[in-house]
Amino acid sequence: MIISENISLLRYNTFQIDVAAKYFAEIKSENDFSELLREEKFRSQQKLILGGGSNILFTKSFDGIVVKNSFTGISIVKEDENCVWVRAAAGEVWHQFVLWCIEKNLAGLENLSLIPGQVGAAPMQNIGAYGVEIRDLFDELEAIEIATGEKVNFKNAECEFGYRESVFKNKFKNQFLISAVTFRLNKIPKFNVNYGDIKMTLDEMRVNDLTIKAVSDAVIKIRSSKLPDPKVLGNAGSFFKNPVISKEEFESFISKNPLANNYPQKDGTVKVPAGWLIEQCGWKGKVVGNTGSHKSQALVLVNYGGATGNEVYQLALDIQKSVQDKFGVTIQPEVNLV
């Protein structure tokens, strides 16, 4: 394990923010991590576990040790008549893992194709897209408690998954390194193609027989046309979560904004698209210094080159305030601020 000092994190975050880390270690095994935790020099240092850096905004240099997870390995753990349990190490690239499952004809994760980042970060915010969230397929995860080095397993209910939420983003923030995740996948697909443009895209692709691969290809096609590629334009996907408001708040909101799209939830609350709210406030496509709200997806804030984390954060605060002032609705960041 090589530990570097005072290195730039520019190539380790998709927002392409140029801040430094006091120390940086790439860990390839649990042993590497144990060794790091035992080192006297690092014991009192703040630790930040990093995956692909695609859901993080650095607003300042990190005065501690950044631990880049590079654990690898994908394996089938067990199977029964209907399901196959697949374990993936935290450092596997999420999309490569999804493709691995598709190649083995294992269904469930195809709607989550092309989400950037690594497997270990997926439970952090219960990643989701096109009507599927990982909690629908998640069996358990293995973690290491940073303070003690103890190994702990978390079953689905213990992760307290919610919309872009989990126990690891809240009560246990920065307390565990997730080392591997096991998913229960289906031998017989239960396709979920009702969301958004999936059906239309499958028609355009002239798909007659639905397959796991075809759904994945459709999702990839939609995502590639809608979301900016972080390799070309720094971003971290949706900067804010879609606000979920009470039935009463929604009734008042929709009477004033009858054209707003909305998604009623099972518990009576209603999800309102933050992208629409932000667009209505005039931010879509607006360039502010080196940053801005993307021209085809207002919810995605971008770095046009050389932006600081604080510049992006200030833009986010200004957007948040204008949505609050115009609609009385609070939008909260999805991205992890460091």
Q: Kindly list the residues in this chain that would bind ligand FAD in the complex (CB under 6 A).
A: 14, 48-56, 69, 90, 115-118, 120-122, 124-125, 127-129, 176-178, 227, 230, 235-237, 336
With a CB cutoff of 8 Å and minimum separation 6, the contacts of 173 are none
Provide the H-helix boundaries in the chain: 30-38, 40-43, 94-103, 198-204, 212-226, 247-256, 274-280, 309-327
The contact pattern for ligand EPU, residues 245-284, with x = CB under 6 A and - = no contact, is ----------------x-----------x-xx--x----x
CB 269 within 8 A of CB 245: yes
235 lies in the site for ligand EPU, by CB under 6 A: no
Residue 254: CB minimum distance to ligand FAD, A: 26
By rule CB under 6 A, what count of residues binds ligand EPU? 17
CB 54 within 8 A of CB 9: no
With a CB cutoff of 8 Å and minimum separation 6, the contacts of 83 are 184, 185, 186, 187
Residue 279: CB minimum distance to ligand EPU, A: 4
Residue 51: CB minimum distance to ligand FAD, A: 2
**Cβ count near 290 (within 10 Å):** 16
Phi, psi of 165 (to 5 degrees): -140, 155
Is 223 annotated as catalytic? no
299 lies in the site for ligand EPU, by CB under 6 A: yes
At 8, list the tokens: 């730039």
Catalytic residue among 164, 166, 216, 293: 164
Is 38 annotated as catalytic? no
> What is the DSSP secondary structure assignment for residue 242, as one 8-state letter?
P
184 lies in the site for ligand EPU, by CB under 6 A: no
Is 238 annotated as catalytic? yes
Question: 263 vs 304, which CB is nearer to ligand EPU?
Answer: 263
Residues with active-site annotation: 164, 238, 334
